[in-house]
Structure 1
Amino acid sequence: MDRYDLLYRLYEEYETDTLRDLQNFVDLFPPVDSRVALEYWQDASDELAARKRDIAADFDAGDAVAEIAARATREQTFTALDLHTKYRESVNALVLDVDETLRSAGRTDNEIPRETLHLLTELHEAGVPIVICTGQTLENVKGFMIQGLGTELVHSGSFSIVYEAGTGVFTPGHGSDTKRLLYDSLDEDVREVFSLVRSRVLTAAPEELRRSVHLQGNEFNVTLKPNFDVGSEDAEAVIDEGLVYLIDLLGRAVAETVEGVGDVGIEARGDDSGDPQPSAEWARAYYAAADPEIEAVLKTAGAVPTRAAASAPEAVRTLFDRIDVGYYHADAAEIGSLDLDKPTGVREALDVLGIENPFVLVMGDSKSDLRVMTWAESADAGIAAAPRHASESVLSHVRSTDELVYEPGDAGSVLRVVSVLNRLGEW
């Protein structure tokens, strides 16, 4: 009997829903100081073990089949079987975004669900390293990952954090490689642009904008965050305004950095007439052409450039080519280095972890995560999954590959697929 027929028989002949409920109860039962509750847990554990023994006795690969039935739905199991048939690979690392990927403010009170944390722990204990890949600061993400997964796992030597969308990599337990500051490798002119923008981003901002945003505490990237609830109308308004301001400020910094171009203007937003300086126009035109979302914000804000990006000096355009402007609706506006994107950080993390032939699960929701997904596909290095509310470009990629789209707050469903996929690889 082939695997398909065997697994079909498993889900037809056994009460797998009950088995899964028992497994979830045993795994996720909270620590309580109650004799009655502990007895109830023990009864459930005994029934779970008995049901697994019945399945194991009825199949050649009994223990593996019983574990699959206890941890995955029919749909999840057959999705894993399809992936196994297609790739003939097991996942040897998890590459995971956090906000709106592992956790979702709409469904999980902005906390990573206990089920997801438990599944991550199980996969890690099974030998699958975890790479958290985020735009957040190192200290922030390290703190809540320790809170969720525990100090021992985070400092296990097989856990890494790619932070600020790839500007640095933190992998505890690896000596001199524990922290790689990737931005130190950038050319001096790129570092100078970021230094100029960072030094002016708040002090040069219009007063109302300055009161409405704050600067995220990054090591290198420059990120404006709203002083309002993320996703709110107020946050949308200030981030849209902040995006235009940040682009103009970037244009000025690039022009000042390039020799012979720095006389295009003094103020980032324009001269006394209120018209934007050439450097701002160049930046607006360049980044509008690169990103339809940015173009739409500029149109709505009445900041459509009258100059074409091609009118900028070649040296200016060359610097623009190396600097990314990120727009996250009602959440953030930022600049980062295209030489230090998430794929660069992920490759560095995998190098520190000693994973020479990666086949990773990439989970994310934004354009920066899409770059990691695209890298994984082009390098035959993994598969991609995304929540249903992810950006359309991300969903398009995921649907065109393996259709691993999940509901907000339900990252655990994809982790269950990976768990079965890896068990099939060992079968």
Structure 2
Amino acid sequence: MERYDQLYRLYEEFDAATLRAYQDFVDVFPPVDSRVALEHWQDASDELAARKDEVRSAFSETGETFCELAARATRDQAFAALDLHAKYGRGVNVLVLDVDETLRSAGGTDNEIPRETLHLLTEFHEEGTPIVVCTGQTLENVKGFLIQGLGNELVHSGDVSVVYEAGTGVFTPGHGADTKRLLYEDLGEDIRAVFDAVRSRILSDAPDELRRGCHLQGNEFNVTLKPNFETGSDRAREVIDRALVYELGLLGDAVAERVGAGDAEGADAEDASADPGDWASAYYADQDPEIRGVLEREGETVDLAPDDVPEGIREAFERIDVAYYEADAAEIGSLELNKVVGVEAAFEVLGIDDPFAAVLGDSKSDLRVMEWVADEDAGIAAAPEHASRDVLDHVIRTDELVFDRGKAGDVLRTIYALNRLATLD
């Protein structure tokens, strides 16, 4: 109880809110060529140092830690951190971060990572905490905004890794031959051939309305159709719904061509002669209620059960993921390649053999990583309040680290406080 008593004293006796305001101002003060502005910054810096000295002198053994707690974390964040430390007995030694609708939000941050969040990430980096950015985006997109936001030196420091396209590859600058790992090259030739076939036809065979309304994202492996309309808009929703139906048809054809008719033995004659696209629709509608809903809206439901799909065809589908992101994307990926596989590869390259990760994310692909670290007793999970229901259920059941839209910095402050408290052991 001593640590709790000390925290009560810290936040009751000292004006932590003002101390935090000075720290935030000093940290994110924009570079300006103004003598008056620089004098204002220096005054704030001096006041910050004086207030920290007051805290240091009041807590003889823990003063340095407590002045940083007061300068970085609110009372609630500090106590949440202390609860996490009491539960797990250790600090976080790696950050695993989704980007879209986690670090940044179209509705909350104008689709930019806030300066506060970027600065906190630099603080973790300076404290020696590796950062794994784990996203469905292409590598080039991620590299671009990371270098712009965090700087070329930090990104190429050797302590930053990018798991891109939801686990098809890992990019860790500064690690020689291990800098880029193409995880999709480890897949079987049969599955790679299916993806090659779908990719080769995805635009050339598309109806005019899809060719004009969608574009193929520049992935190395996954096949992702994105709308040529504002994400989240009615037009984007309409075209992505149609794109999903189209992709299911292409996937069914590609799997049937690759697996071959011989693997359809044992199916009823009527089922064996069914359109392969119908097999794909039946299988994936059973797997994902969102896909079933799209098929219903588009009038494309089929009168088949998953058991009606020939065994060989079904076994191939069991290795392939079809993902639907409403008004955003329709994607075909590999179930053998996911964010967990990518994060494991990133940890290996970074040399993290005893991870205790903070996983921030909002979607079911992030949930797999959250569940993996929970099963391995290797970390904690946090999510924005608008995350998918399954993600929120998991986060609330574990440590209740839910943050407001666009406010990933709030939970990063809690993790920062946890790491500071862990240094007192």
Q: Normalized against structure 1, the TM-score is what?
A: 0.96
1:375 and 1:247 map into 2 onto residues whose CA distance is 29
Letter in 2 for 1:42: Q
Match of 1:397 in 2: 394
Match of 1:41 in 2: 41
1:310 and 1:210 map into 2 onto residues whose CA distance is 34
Going from structure 1 to structure 2, the CA distance change for 1:263 and 1:88 (only over 3 Å counts) comes to closer
Letter in 2 for 1:80: A
1:317 pairs, out of 307, 314, 318, with 314
Match of 1:270 in 2: none
Query: SS at the partner of 1:86?
Result: helix
Could you tell me whether the CA contact under 8 Å between 1:153 and 1:159 is conserved in 2?
yes
C-alpha displacement at 1:260, in angstroms? 2.2
2:295 and 2:81 map into 1 onto residues whose CA distance is 43
Q: Note if 1:356 corresponds to 2:353.
A: yes
1:160 and 1:185 map into 2 onto residues whose CA distance is 20
Could you tell me whether the CA contact under 8 Å between 2:263 and 2:313 is conserved in 1?
no
1:63 and 1:89 map into 2 onto residues whose CA distance is 19
Could you tell me whether the CA contact under 8 Å between 1:406 and 1:413 is conserved in 2?
yes
Superposition pairs for residues 188-337 of structure 1, below 5 Å?
A: 188-260=189-261, 277-337=274-334
Letter in 2 for 1:26: V
C-alpha displacement at 1:261, in angstroms? 5.4
1:304 and 1:393 map into 2 onto residues whose CA distance is 25
Match of 2:379 in 1: 382
Deviations 1:323-369 (A, max 9, x none): 00111111001010011101000000000000001110111111111
Could you tell me whether the CA contact under 8 Å between 2:223 and 2:332 is conserved in 1?
yes
2:392 and 2:381 map into 1 onto residues whose CA distance is 10
1:244 and 1:13 map into 2 onto residues whose CA distance is 62
C-alpha displacement at 1:262, in angstroms? 9.3
2:257 and 2:111 map into 1 onto residues whose CA distance is 41
Letter in 2 for 1:4: Y
Could you tell me whether the CA contact under 8 Å between 1:255 and 1:261 is conserved in 2?
no
Match of 1:73 in 2: 74
Match of 1:155 in 2: 156
Q: Note if 1:346 corresponds to 2:347.
A: no
Could you tell me whether the CA contact under 8 Å between 2:172 and 2:180 is conserved in 1?
yes
C-alpha displacement at 1:24, in angstroms? 0.4
Deviations 1:88-142 (A, max 9, x none): 1211111011111101111212110000000000001101000000111101111
1:342 and 1:404 map into 2 onto residues whose CA distance is 20
Could you tell me whether the CA contact under 8 Å between 2:264 and 2:310 is conserved in 1?
no
2:245 and 2:373 map into 1 onto residues whose CA distance is 32
Deviations 1:384-408 (A, max 9, x none): 1111111111111111111111111
Query: SS at the partner of 2:225?
Result: strand
Letter in 2 for 1:369: D
2:368 and 2:241 map into 1 onto residues whose CA distance is 23
C-alpha displacement at 1:259, in angstroms? 2.4
C-alpha displacement at 1:376, in angstroms? 1.0
Deviations 1:19-40 (A, max 9, x none): 0001000101100111111111
Letter in 1 for 2:235: D
Could you tell me whether the CA contact under 8 Å between 1:365 and 1:386 is conserved in 2?
yes
Query: SS at the partner of 2:336?
Result: helix
Query: SS at the partner of 2:299?
Result: coil
Query: SS at the partner of 2:324?
Result: strand
Match of 1:177 in 2: 178
C-alpha displacement at 1:263, in angstroms? 10
2:248 and 2:359 map into 1 onto residues whose CA distance is 30
Could you tell me whether the CA contact under 8 Å between 1:168 and 1:182 is conserved in 2?
yes
Letter in 2 for 1:336: G
Going from structure 1 to structure 2, the CA distance change for 1:263 and 1:285 (only over 3 Å counts) comes to closer
Could you tell me whether the CA contact under 8 Å between 1:163 and 1:169 is conserved in 2?
yes
Match of 1:5 in 2: 5
Structure 1 runs (4+) greater than 2 angstroms displaced: 259-264
2:263 and 2:250 map into 1 onto residues whose CA distance is 13
Could you tell me whether the CA contact under 8 Å between 1:116 and 1:411 is conserved in 2?
yes
Match of 1:26 in 2: 26
Q: Relative to structure 2, which stretch is displaced further, 289-298 or 177-186?
A: 289-298
Letter in 2 for 1:404: L
Going from structure 1 to structure 2, the CA distance change for 1:383 and 1:263 (only over 3 Å counts) comes to closer
Match of 1:108 in 2: 109
Query: SS at the partner of 1:302?
Result: coil
Query: SS at the partner of 2:402?
Result: strand
C-alpha displacement at 1:282, in angstroms? 1.2
Equivalent residue pairs, number: 416
- Please list every run of 5 or more consecutive structure 1 residues that lacks an aligned counterpart in the other structure: 265-275
1:412 pairs, out of 389, 409, 412, with 409
Query: SS at the partner of 2:261?
Result: coil
Could you tell me whether the CA contact under 8 Å between 2:139 and 2:162 is conserved in 1?
yes
Match of 1:95 in 2: 96
1:290 and 1:155 map into 2 onto residues whose CA distance is 40
Going from structure 1 to structure 2, the CA distance change for 1:261 and 1:334 (only over 3 Å counts) comes to farther
1:28 and 1:391 map into 2 onto residues whose CA distance is 32
Could you tell me whether the CA contact under 8 Å between 1:256 and 1:263 is conserved in 2?
no
Letter in 1 for 2:27: D
